[in-house]
Structure 1
Amino acid sequence: MLNAKKAMLFAFLRKESLDLFNRLHSIAEDVLFVNQVHAAYPAIPILPNLRCGAWYADPTIATDCPAYFKSTDGHFSNWSFNLRRPNLHLLPLVAANNGAGIVLVDSTRAGKRLPDALSKTVPIWCAVVNRAVLQRFPDKQDWDTALYTPPGAVSAQEHAQIALRIDPWGEALANSSYSLPDLPRPLRPMWLTPASGALPVPPAAYIPIICVSASQVADGTARRAGGFAYIQGSGDDHELWGEGLTPTLFWRHREVLLGAERADLPALVASLVADSAPSQNAGKRAPHSDLSHLTGNWEQDTAYVVVAVVGAPQFVIPDGVPVLYIEAWTGKKGQFQFLQDILPRATAFARVQLSAGRRLCAACDTGADFSVGIALVALQLFFDDAGELVDLEDEKDLNDTTLANKDSIRTRLEWIIASRPTANPSRTTLKRVNEYLLSAQEFRTSSTRPFPSQVKPTASTIKPSPEAEP
């Protein structure tokens, strides 16, 4: 009987925690605290830490420069400074206005005061950047490179273990191809939660990185006068409870969503999600905005490699613009296809277009994965270590100058990330890129590879000039 009661209680709490009405109103309550922080530091840019933080940072006041500090990089014994997501695009922003810094918004689920992204990943980032800047600009005096973590969230033992790793990470960043600004002062993390009390004054000797955990600490659910149960960190893992709702849709329709009755909310969300979705073939993902924005913006001197998980091109392509369109699969089939079919065809197409003096644009349904892999291969095969286009007609010069190794591939990936911080290719895609580039030359010289019959052949559209044909 006791176990049955516990099971019923657990089921009730789980239902409460996944309830749309509870989630959205809990987020709205936390937004009030974030707005108070912004009012206290009006001269400091405020921005979300993706993905969770986007629910709490009002886009009308937030700076359009989101950060991506992953909690997994701060998990115990998994601490990391990842050169594939260095967040260096934030440095010009934090250094602006004589080093005003930033306010970084995130949240976490019940049982914790701060997410690992704010308590450890951001402190690691600050210390690593500080040490790399000192190596690049060694004439700095009294430059603090220490690791700072919140004592209540990070134990002294864990702090000490992380601190031992900072120097190698700082050296790796300093030796990378990324450019680093000459910061006026070292970075220093600070932390704020609804339980912090008085808001601290940022120290004048540092550039403040103010880490705001938006949610109140709550075990389970807590009833509010507004008729909802407060859920800590409601914006986390919205795929589990949001029924298709995203932070963008929430902020666009915030008033009507928060004004809806509990019983009417699921239907309202379904309607908003349906209205926002582009037309698509059943069972296939919709193109990412990075793909659909190409419509109406084609440039005559640019060739396009479009890899999308859709059934047919969704674009009106003007005459004179060469386009290689490839329909891609997802999952393991998609990765096999990427190596055996997409990369060879995209590479052959890229060489023809670059030889003709055109620029090259690669696009995919996420704007961050397959397209990055294609660009990475093109940079390795057709550009030297200084980023200059090689003589594509001279086979010997082409092969000698662009000889690939893991260091050269990593450097070119850094070029891409530096210019497009949202680039985030999967480990599997990067593994396929390495396999392709480090394989025998004969593998790459064929324009297409045989594709197994159990995998649907790709659709390809090339318009409209004869020289577009690979």
Structure 2
Amino acid sequence: MSEIDKIDRQEDIPIMSKREATVLLSRVFQGLFHTLELSSDSGSQLLPSCGAEACLSKEQRRDCWGLRAGESMESIYKVSRQIKQKEHSLYNALRSIYHDSLFVAEIAALWPRLPLLANLRCGLWYSQHFYDVCYFKSTDGHNGNWSFNVTRLNLHVAELAAQKGGCIIVDATRKGKRFPDSMSKTLPIWACVINRALADLRKSLDENPNHLKPEEDFLDSEENSLRRHSLDWDCQLHLPIWVSETEKNNIVNRLDTWVEDLKNCGANLIPLAQMLRKPLRTLWVSQKTVIWLNEIVDTETLDFTPIFLVSASQPVSCSQRMTDAEFSWSYIPGAADDEESWARGLTPSLFWKHVYELLDDGPADCNRKVAVLVERDRVYRALRGQVAPQVRMKSGRELSVPADCPPGASFASNLHLGKIIPLSDSFDLRNLDTNDLSDSRCSDNASHSRLEEREVPALMDVISQNMDSVSLNQTNGHPPDKVPGIHWIGSTGLAVGASTCCQVDSLRKVVDCVLDVSSTGWTSSSSCEDSDLHLPIVGSKFDRHSLESHLPEAIKFAREKLTNGLSIFICCQDGEDISVCVCLAILLSCFDSAGKFCNGSLDRRTISKAEVRQSLILLASFHSGARPSRGCLKQVYNYLKNLQ
């Protein structure tokens, strides 16, 4: 008697484990599927399930309940994977990004005077008019893992909000939530810690008013004093309503510790205290938020400086089918997240340059067009000496040149990428009006930081009071000329940036030497063996000791040039990771604890992790785009530790 007959007759069945029950259930379904297949092949009518087993022979029944179950389950898994891959295709991802970008544009139009910022890296895909970028990690807001990371202070965001009266930050999430944890908790924690630290600083500055210069737009000293010592300065933690009270209390208990960490990390908050009139506060906007157009709030009338957190994606747990005039497509919430898994080498700037070309022809030709654009852009940059790595697919094969793209130099001559502005002829993005939303506003999807509009202060003004009065002035160093993409570290004679800046014709007018630490290097007719040095350093993901092994040669080169009063431009592929770490190692190796250039060796000096962290914060105050990886920072510390 079969198990099905026992169930039908309600006879007792021995107690079985969960695994045995799963196997039994799978065999039942496999038997039914096999019966239907036999009935279909024989041309007979579909048999009722209760009598299906009686129509099978003994051998067929054994095959039905035997080894074929595992084989069929594997095929079902493959089918489900194929369905998921089809729903998360490249066209669906790009179409979803464009769909969400329309919502971002609507929100940005409500407050056109506020700058639009992208939270890296997902948020960078959702607009082509970003004013700047920031980096708030969701992991710093995960439940039980709350933290305030002093190596990612994002002070340029607070200063920009103070200058413009607020800002708008864009991000997205794939998890079906309305907001990612970076917006729900990381950013509110950051704003609260900044407000509390500024409140303590304002109190100390009121006791010593000589340390604070009144702002030009506050001519009345009484009004300026009232601004500094405001009694209603909000220091409370403001979290969204969906964060539980238990989690909120746990975060509040840690705020004082984070404020002390901010005070002791070496960051200079005095310029921010001068600019910020009202405390920072986060506001949340999603596609489910109802905003009455006749009741748009004027940010000037608020008693705080608003930071609008815009979640671009719709809060759905799975993909949804959508249609337009020509094509149907599956909407993917937070489609821009984890771009390495789907973008196929496409970048946000390249996407927005060819957005209509990629989307208008539908999903059938999208993959081929992306391959053509990526390869053309790679060859275009490679022929100009820029870093252009070959794109590799998951199978391990390199992305081949499309059939309609001749390889080599002849390929570059046939490019049709629209108007490409050389870096040397590009306009100064800092002179653009905030309200300008034309296509010429940002040619690379995110412009350089506007916070460098003010003069670069001396490095002694950036180091906190817990360090002795320091002066990292380089006697014969070049002044910090405004060159797009080059970030001068005070007046030390050191500058950091991307290797693309080496193509600027006027580079030699502002720097004397170039230390190129990109993996491929750059070519220039004006390069000189004596004044330039190329060290092929790769990221920590590819080689965990590449940076550490090249640091002795880099520091030797820097010490020699700085001794002769020459300035050095340190560049890497993106100007954010390896070049920042090399500059950090030079600062710690060639400058003493008093901040003065030291021509001798610093072998006897003990360098702690706290000092490395303070120097990194100092460097980031001049280069807001500095985002060194953990692996590279570890190599810098290991090298400095071995010198002791």
Q: TM-score if structure 1 supplies the norm length? A: 0.84
- Which one-letter code corresponds to 1:205 in the other structure? D
CA positional deviation for 1:113: 1.0
Q: What is the match of residue 111 of structure 2?
A: 41
- Which one-letter code corresponds to 1:352 in the other structure? E
Partners of 1:432 and 1:439 in 2: CA distance: 11
Q: What is the match of residue 141 of structure 1?
A: 231
Question: Aligned pair 1:336/2:545, yes or no?
Answer: yes
Partners of 2:367 and 2:643 in 1: CA distance: 55
CA positional deviation for 1:283: 6.3
Larger mean Cα displacement after TM superposition, 72-81 or 402-411: 402-411
Larger mean Cα displacement after TM superposition, 292-301 or 141-150: 292-301
Question: Aligned pair 1:126/2:179, yes or no?
Answer: no
CA positional deviation for 1:112: 0.9
Gap change, CA 1:329 and 1:125, over 3 Å in 2: closer
CA positional deviation for 1:333: 7.1
Larger mean Cα displacement after TM superposition, 367-376 or 317-326: 317-326
Q: Are the counterparts in 1 of residues 539 and 546 from structure 2 also a CA contact under 8 Å?
A: no
Larger mean Cα displacement after TM superposition, 326-335 or 376-385: 326-335
Question: Aligned pair 1:324/2:533, yes or no?
Answer: yes
Unpaired runs of 5+ in structure 2?
Answer: 1-28, 31-72, 204-228, 393-484, 486-496
CA positional deviation for 1:204: 1.0
Q: What is the match of residue 176 of structure 1?
A: 265
Partners of 2:102 and 2:144 in 1: CA distance: 35
Q: Are the counterparts in 2 of residues 224 and 230 from structure 1 also a CA contact under 8 Å?
A: yes
Gap change, CA 1:367 and 1:282, over 3 Å in 2: closer
Gap change, CA 1:281 and 1:247, over 3 Å in 2: closer
Q: What is the match of residue 339 of structure 2?
A: 238
Correspondence 1:70-85 to 2 at 5 A: 70-85=137-152
Larger mean Cα displacement after TM superposition, 212-221 or 403-412: 403-412
Correspondence 1:21-60 to 2 at 5 A: 21-59=91-129
Partners of 2:289 and 2:151 in 1: CA distance: 33
Correspondence 1:88-103 to 2 at 5 A: 88-97=155-164, 100-103=165-168
Partners of 1:103 and 1:164 in 2: CA distance: 28
Partners of 2:314 and 2:369 in 1: CA distance: 28
Q: What is the match of residue 517 of structure 2?
A: 307
SS of the equivalent of 1:224 reads strand
Q: What is the match of residue 194 of structure 1?
A: 287
Q: Are the counterparts in 1 of residues 282 and 307 from structure 2 also a CA contact under 8 Å?
A: yes
Q: Are the counterparts in 2 of residues 70 and 117 from structure 1 also a CA contact under 8 Å?
A: yes
Partners of 2:588 and 2:359 in 1: CA distance: 51
Bigger Rg, structure 1 or 2: 2
CA positional deviation for 1:386: 4.5
Q: What is the match of residue 219 of structure 2?
A: none
Gap change, CA 1:169 and 1:316, over 3 Å in 2: farther
SS of the equivalent of 2:502 reads coil
- Which one-letter code corresponds to 1:195 in the other structure? K
Question: Aligned pair 1:371/2:579, yes or no?
Answer: yes
SS of the equivalent of 2:587 reads helix
CA positional deviation for 1:281: 8.4
CA positional deviation for 1:332: 6.9
Q: Are the counterparts in 2 of residues 131 and 171 from structure 1 also a CA contact under 8 Å?
A: no
Partners of 1:370 and 1:88 in 2: CA distance: 22
- The partner residue of 2:247 within 151, 158, 162 is 158
Q: What is the match of residue 215 of structure 1?
A: 313
Q: What is the match of residue 367 of structure 2?
A: 266
Gap change, CA 1:9 and 1:319, over 3 Å in 2: closer
- Which one-letter code corresponds to 2:290 in the other structure? G
Question: Aligned pair 1:404/2:607, yes or no?
Answer: yes
- The partner residue of 2:589 within 374, 381, 389 is 381
CA positional deviation for 1:15: 1.8
Gap change, CA 1:338 and 1:12, over 3 Å in 2: closer
CA positional deviation for 1:16: 3.4
CA positional deviation for 1:253: 0.9
Gap change, CA 1:5 and 1:230, over 3 Å in 2: farther
Q: What is the match of residue 12 of structure 2?
A: none
CA positional deviation for 1:297: 4.5
Q: Are the counterparts in 2 of residues 298 and 317 from structure 1 also a CA contact under 8 Å?
A: no
1:20-72 CA deviation, whole Å, 9 max, x = no partner? Answer: 2211111121111111111211222222111111111232xx31x11111111
1:225-251 CA deviation, whole Å, 9 max, x = no partner? Answer: 221111111111121111111111111
- Which one-letter code corresponds to 2:512 in the other structure? T
Partners of 2:545 and 2:513 in 1: CA distance: 25
Partners of 1:178 and 1:185 in 2: CA distance: 20
Q: Are the counterparts in 1 of residues 590 and 597 from structure 2 also a CA contact under 8 Å?
A: yes
- The number of residues matched between the two structures is 426
Q: Are the counterparts in 2 of residues 84 and 414 from structure 1 also a CA contact under 8 Å?
A: yes
Partners of 2:314 and 2:618 in 1: CA distance: 40
Q: Are the counterparts in 1 of residues 502 and 522 from structure 2 also a CA contact under 8 Å?
A: no
1:158-201 CA deviation, whole Å, 9 max, x = no partner? Answer: 12212211211122112332222112111111101111112673
CA positional deviation for 1:406: 2.8
Partners of 1:184 and 1:238 in 2: CA distance: 38
Partners of 1:242 and 1:333 in 2: CA distance: 21
Partners of 2:241 and 2:82 in 1: CA distance: 35
Partners of 1:94 and 1:342 in 2: CA distance: 40
Q: What is the match of residue 455 of structure 1?
A: none
Which of structure 1's runs of 4+ aligned residues deviate more than 4 A? 1-6, 280-285, 329-333
- Which one-letter code corresponds to 2:90 in the other structure? L
Unpaired runs of 5+ in structure 1?
Answer: 442-470
Larger mean Cα displacement after TM superposition, 122-131 or 191-200: 191-200
Partners of 1:95 and 1:379 in 2: CA distance: 30
Question: Aligned pair 1:438/2:638, yes or no?
Answer: no
CA positional deviation for 1:304: 2.1
Identity value in percent:
35
1:229-288 CA deviation, whole Å, 9 max, x = no partner? Answer: 111111111211111111111111112112122111111111111111132787699xx9
Partners of 2:285 and 2:122 in 1: CA distance: 17
Larger mean Cα displacement after TM superposition, 102-111 or 134-143: 134-143
Q: Are the counterparts in 1 of residues 265 and 613 from structure 2 also a CA contact under 8 Å?
A: no
Larger mean Cα displacement after TM superposition, 251-260 or 6-15: 6-15
Q: Are the counterparts in 1 of residues 603 and 643 from structure 2 also a CA contact under 8 Å?
A: no
